[in-house]
Each structure stands twice: as C-alpha cells, then as structure tokens.
A and B are shown apart, each in its own frame.
Chain A
Amino acid sequence: AQRVTQPEKLLSVFKGAPVELKCNYSYSGSPELFWYVQYSRQRLQLLLRHISRESIKGFTADLNKGETSFHLKKPFAQEEDSAMYYCALRKGGPGANNLFFGTGTRLTVIP
C-alpha cells in the first residue's frame, strides 16, 4: 500500500533563511509526487509536481527514489510562504488517478 509521511507538523523559519519541508513515501511502483499548498483562507492548490522539474515561487523539489523522498526546498524564505503544505502521491500508470496526501506541515516564516 502507498503512504506519504510528513514528519514535521510545524516548521518555523526566519525570513531569508533556507527552508526544507520533508516528505517521504512508500510505494512499490513508480509514483508521481506533488506538493500542494493552502494559504490562509484559500483553497488547496498545486504548487509543483516532480515530472515538471520546475521552480515555482522559488520552491523546488527533487524526487529521490533511493531515499523515497520528495523534500520541498527554498533557499530564502519569504513571509508570504507561510501556509500549510501537503505532499501527495499518485500511483503511476494509466487509470491510477487517486491522490494520497500526507498529514501536512504548517510553515511559519518569522519576519
């Protein structure tokens, strides 16, 4: 069975400091990994996905199959990054469309 683990419920960093939100997964196949973000009073929205290998709002995430991790990183945190972050996994292959979420990490960027 698949599982997504986010070990930190809360994470606080100072503005300008680097930030890393951890995500580990367990799945025997080749998954697709995502990071979703929820800002205060807003809906859950996609931040980035591993297959795009892109940087969104300064955030990047690399899929490490050896360590089964998909940590989210940003070199210099901004106050507007304060939000709830969820790592999510989708099983690979056609028809496998369910998203499985971790429990989330609340990031607070201290001015």
Chain B
Amino acid sequence: EAGVVQSPRYKIIEKKQPVAFWCNPISGHNTLYWYRQNLGQGPELLIRYENEEAVDDSQLPKDRFSAERLKGVDSTLKIQPAELGDSAVYLCASSLDGRASGSTEAFFGQGTRLTVV
C-alpha cells in the first residue's frame, strides 16, 4: 500500500507563475483534505472534499487558489499567480467517510515543498 501519494515533492517557481499539486488518496477513502504548513507552524486546512464535493473551503484564498476532485478520487490544488508568501509545504490527506460519526484516522502524504522566489 503506497498510502497517499503527492507530486511533485519539491517545486521552485518565480512569483506570479502558476503552480499545481497533485494528490492520489488511499483507495476507498471518500474524504480528502489539502493542508498548508508554514515553517514552524502546524498544518492548516485549506479545503476538504467528501467525494467530489468541496464541503469546506472557507480557508482557501479563492482569489488565487483553486482545487478540484472531479471523479471523487485524485485531486489537484492550483495557485495562480503564486506569491512569495505561498512558500510552504502543501499536504494532502485522506480518510474514510468523514460524515460518519466517530473518529476516522487521516492519512497524510509526504507533501509538496513549494518555494516561491
């Protein structure tokens, strides 16, 4: 089991350029999350999907960030245009049906480290 797979692992871009991150969750996991982790901070939720529906995108800066999960499996997160402050590690995680009561473990990918110069 490969777990949650993210690519690329590292990305360096110039400011104002676009960038995209890809995530393949664990098979059968309906819930997918994108988190951003700034240096010295804990992960902060950007968006959560239940299947293909974005059920919480309140923390996603919608002027430059967008995400999609068209078939309810893989997901992409895009930034256009990138700013210097977007430099961070972007984490994808997945879990079983998040709408069920009770605790469901979130499994994290390795993350994509973005550097905007």
Contact = CB atoms under 8 A, between A and B. Distances in A.
Contacts of B41: 103-104
Interface residues of A, number: 25
Contacts of A88: 42
Contact of B98 (A34, A86, A97): A97
Interface residues of B, number: 29
Nearest to A41: B110
Consensus secondary structure, chain B interface: loop
Contacts of A93: 101
Contacts of B109: 43
Interface stretch (A11-19, A45-53, A58-66, A69-77): A45-53
B95 interface: yes
Contacts of A49: 103, 105
Contacts of B33: 98-99
Contacts of A98: 33, 45, 48, 56
Contact of B31 (A94, A97, A102, A103): A97
Contacts of B99: 94-95, 97
Given A9-B40, A86-B42, A99 B106 contact: yes
A90 B93 CA distance: 15
Nearest to B89: A44
Nearest to B97: A97
B44 to A, nearest CB: 7
13 contacts: A43-B3, A43-B4, A44-B91, A44-B108, A45-B107, A86-B42, A93-B101, A94-B99, A94-B100, A97-B99, A98-B45, A98-B56, A103-B40
Interface of B: 3-4, 31, 33, 40-45, 48, 56, 91, 93, 95, 98-111
